[in-house]
Amino acid sequence: MKACVSLIGTALALACWSPGAQQLKVNPSTGETQKQFAQRTKWWREAKFGMFTHWGVYAIPADGEWHMNTHRVQVKDYEKFVPMFNLT
């Protein structure tokens, strides 16, 4: 009987960790399974898109878009960064 219970427990554990079972896991933030995510993002992956980087004057102090707010920088002081910023 002990061997039977152990065998059933092992079979259940293997079933839970099988690749098919992994596809059924749901991402709590999106509510989609791994398979749904793969289908939804298939075009993006196949198109070989990379990363889109955006930047602005806030890149000069290298502190993020909220630099003026977090450091309480006045506009007249922040404007000093504008000539230093080179878009190219």
Q: Assess if residue 59 is contained within a domain.
A: no
Q: Assess if residue 42 is contained within a domain.
A: yes
Buried b (16+ CB within 10 A) or exposed e, 49-72: eeeeeeeebbbbeeeeeebbeeee
Q: In terms of residue numbers, what domain contains 27? A: 2-46
Q: Report angle CA 39, 44, 50 to the nearest 5 degrees.
A: 145
pLDDT tens series, the chain, 88 aa: 444 334 444 444 444 444 554 456 888 888 999 999 999 989 888 888 777 777 788 788 887 778 888 889 899 998 898 898 887 7
Q: Assess if residue 52 is contained within a domain.
A: no
H-only helix segments in 1-88: 2-16, 19-22, 34-40, 42-46, 67-70, 75-78
Q: How many structural domains does the chain have?
A: 1
pLDDT at 68: 85
Q: Assess if residue 54 is contained within a domain.
A: no
- Model confidence, pTM: 0.37
